[in-house]
Amino acid sequence: MDVIERIDQQVKGHPAVIYMKGTPQMPQCGFSMRASQALGDTGVPFAYVNVLQDPEIFENLPRYADWPTFPQIYIDGELVGGCDITLELAASGELKTMMESAALKQEQTAS
């Protein structure tokens, strides 16, 4: 499978996914740590991809949505942005609402 197809499946197969350096339990950069923490603080489960363990995704993800940096957060199949945008959404309460809505939508689609 082509790497862009693989990314597309990951993005569309989860209500929320973060492409980050490291894991939520062991982040390898401050931006990834803060963004994954903001996602975790919503209480809504999310998927993650450690781009340091997948060089193909690390090299090609910036082409997928034309976003050059990591982390990259996708909710409901759409790029939300990186760390700063995610923290702003968390501070306003929008992040939790977006994630709950995406999780509910996927639940209804699966039923």
DSSP 23: -
**pLDDT per residue as tens digits for the range 15-41:** 999 999 999 999 999 999 999 999 999
- Global confidence as pTM: 0.95
Q: What is the DSSP string of 69-89?
A: SS-EEEETTEEEESHHHHHHH
Domain extent for 77: 3-105
Binding residues for [2Fe-2S] cluster are 29
In a domain, 37, yes or no: yes
Specify if 110 maps to a domain: no
Structural domain includes residue 111: no
- Residue ranges of the binding site: 29
Which CATH number goes with the domain that contains 37? 3.40.30.10
Secondary structure of 26-71 as H, E, C letters: CECCHHHHHHHHHHHHCCCCCEEEEHHHCHHHHHHHHHHCCCCCCC
pLDDT, one tens digit per residue, over 42-82 is: 999 999 999 999 999 999 999 999 999 999 999 999 999 99
- The pLDDT assigned to 109 comes to 83
Question: Would 75 be classed as within a structural domain?
Answer: yes
Query: How many other CB atoms are found less than 10 A from the CB of residue 105?
Result: 13
Q: In total, how many domains does the chain have?
A: 1
Q: Grade residue 107 by pLDDT with cuts at 50, 70 and 90.
A: confident
